[in-house]
Structure 1
Amino acid sequence: MTLPPIRSTDVASVREARVALGQRLRELRQQANLTGRQLAESLAWPASKISKLENGHQTPTDDDIRGWTRETGSEAQADALLASLHTLESQHSEWQRQIKTGLKKHQQDLIGLDAKTRYYRAFEATFIPGLLQTADYARARFAQSITVFKVRNDINEAVAERVRRQEVLYRSDRRFHFILTEAALRYRLCAPDVMLGQLDRLISFAALPNVKLGIIGFETAYVVAPAHGFWLLDNDLVMVETFSAELNLAQPQEVELYGSVFDQLAAVASYGRAARTIITRVIDDLAPEDGS
């Protein structure tokens, strides 16, 4: 799977990532016992280029990375460095710029990712994942985005695109593993009747043969704290949403870390009948407020 298209980035975040990459390049040069001038001469570069790259004042190209690792005898580090480089511009996308033309466009971008992804792992501690949302629940979520970011109101179009995305759940060549906290089932992010419909839909989606739904009940003892939600797309990309940004993490060590965290959360989640029992308990607690 390839990374999503490069989008608007946060200047400070990009600068920090470029500096970190430069520091790693400097370490490799020093481990090879080469001066900046010696390395520049071996690569037929001006000496100033070494300084600019190591201090984060210039972004290296793929060829720069390959030449650097070749001349420093560190070819084994090339793939990790190239992953850092390719992540540099896509690591941090500002929501305000990303959705400035409305919410529909972002949903269409996600459909593009769906075309490339075969295995989805998602953990959410606060709300229902987009792929599992009813139209009414999605409408409530999009209304919050419009309130917070003051973007164009295209809720109807955005909801339609989100519902269209859910067609991927019925693809036999796709697999999905969702983990939710019980809190995500109880937070009052929409009207009670909307939440009741959403909880009922969760039970239905969990019956799909390629969907695995885990619920972590309030009584569960955590090994890893549910600090924030995240998505793992295949073994290539981690997506983390904050109020101000979407982080796209593609460095192998970060993907591996989030994969390990997901596995530990999955280990304490309830599945099958036990998960349905938790959902039903929430439905029973909420139903009286719906006047039923």
Structure 2
Amino acid sequence: MPISPSSSAQAARQGVAQRLRELRADAGITGGELASRCGWTHSKSSRIENARTPPTPADIRAWCQACGADDQAPDIIAQSRNAESQYVEWRRRVKSGLKQLQHSYVPLFQSTSLFRVYSATLVPGLLQTEGYITGLMSSITDFREIPDDVTEAVAARLERSRILHEPGHRFVMLIEESALRHQIGDADAMAAQLGYLLTAGALPSVALGVIPASTPSRPIWPMETFHLYDDTLVSVELLSARVTVTQPSEIALYEKAFAGLRELAVFGADARALIVKAIEALG
């Protein structure tokens, strides 16, 4: 089974749901009785208990009161807030535009020694060129209907990419060959991006691997884009949210996946040959 990109967040939510379910069971009341005491529907109780709907602080307080466990409400509310903080909705992060989002990563980047990135469809952000970023962020801005600060956001992303040239950092970037053929912006912008990969891949701090589309018998499936920051944090990018994974067992799972994907990739001259083919395909 593929790794669930929101597994850490969902596991945390399920922990909250389990505590509430145990409170109800210890109080000796049914879901219907609890719903009646709280003044909501039985289906709402069921959704909360099965972690399908995250409870609000008011829900938790009402639940605990109905179970005669008011003293446990503050702790469960704190647990619930921690669970929800693991699942950060993009619309909250980008509601004022994309520039602020770019700047928010700088402290994490500066504190990371080893960056490991896997991307199936896009060139990793640290290797993106101005035209490519502009095309990508323009599309995101239009799709999400957010304030247009693309020019400033592009400058911020380029600025943070200078970390490639700063001492004390190493980068292992793995991309699928399909990412070389997924055109962002016009043909000139894409050609410039692919050309830059030939240069950036030669930097002493960068190991750029390309997983050929012809790779047979994959022992591992393509998966969501993810970033490993040392061995302490994984950031997983979804359409609707960014999931932060901090649980050691799950970080280890992503490390195992990355190691398997790295075995499939080609580096050096073989990677450059695939990039050149993609450039030639642009015509």
The question of a shared fold, defined as TM-score above 0.5 by the shorter chain, is answered with yes
By how many angstroms is 1:25 displaced? 11
Moved over 6 A (4+): 13-16, 24-27
Q: 2:170·2:206 contact (CA, 8 Å) conserved in 1?
A: yes
Find the aligned partners of 2:92 and 2:247 in 1 and give their Cα distance: 24
Give the letter for the 1:233 counterpart: Y
Unaligned runs of 5+ in 2: 1-5, 28-67
Q: Note the 1:165-244 alignment, pairs <5 A.
A: 165-221=160-216, 222-244=218-240
Give the distance between the partners of 2:208 and 2:15, measured in 1 at CA. Answer: 38
Supply the RMSD in Å over aligned alpha carbons: 2.8
Greater shift after overlay, 221-230 or 171-180? 221-230
Is residue 87–residue 248 contact of structure 1 (8 Å, CA) maintained in 2?
Answer: no
Aligned residue pair count: 234
1:261 to 257, 262, 274: 257
Name the CA distance, whole Å, in 1 between partners of 2:262 and 2:249: 20
Task: From the superposition, tell whether residues 15 and 208 of structure 1 become closer, same or farther in structure 2 (CA, over 3 Å).
Answer: closer
Of 183-192 and 171-180, the range deviating more from structure 2: 183-192
Give me the whole-angstrom Cα distance separating, in 1, the residues matched to 2:133 and 2:277: 23
Query: Offset of 1:59 from its aligned partner?
Result: 3.9
What runs of 5+ residues in structure 1 fail to find an aligned partner? 1-9, 28-34, 37-46, 62-84
Matched-pair contact (CA < 8 Å) for 2:16–2:76: no
TM normalised by structure 1 equals: 0.73
CA separation in 1, counterparts of 2:195 and 2:266? 17
CA 1:15–1:125: 2 relative to 1, 3 Å? closer
Partner residue of 1:150?
Answer: 145
Structure 2 residue 112 is the aligned partner of structure 1 residue 117: yes
Tell me how far apart the structure 2 counterparts of residues 99 and 175 of structure 1 sit (CA, whole Å): 28
Q: Deviations over 1:93-123 (max 9, x none)?
A: 1111111011000000011211211110000
Q: Is the 8 A contact 1:108 1:161 kept in 2?
A: yes
**Aligned mate of 1:251, from 247, 250, 271:** 247
Q: Give me the TM-score of the superposition, normalised by structure 2.
A: 0.75
Distance in 2, Cα, partners of 1:16 & 1:254: 11
Counterpart amino acid of residue 48 in structure 1: A
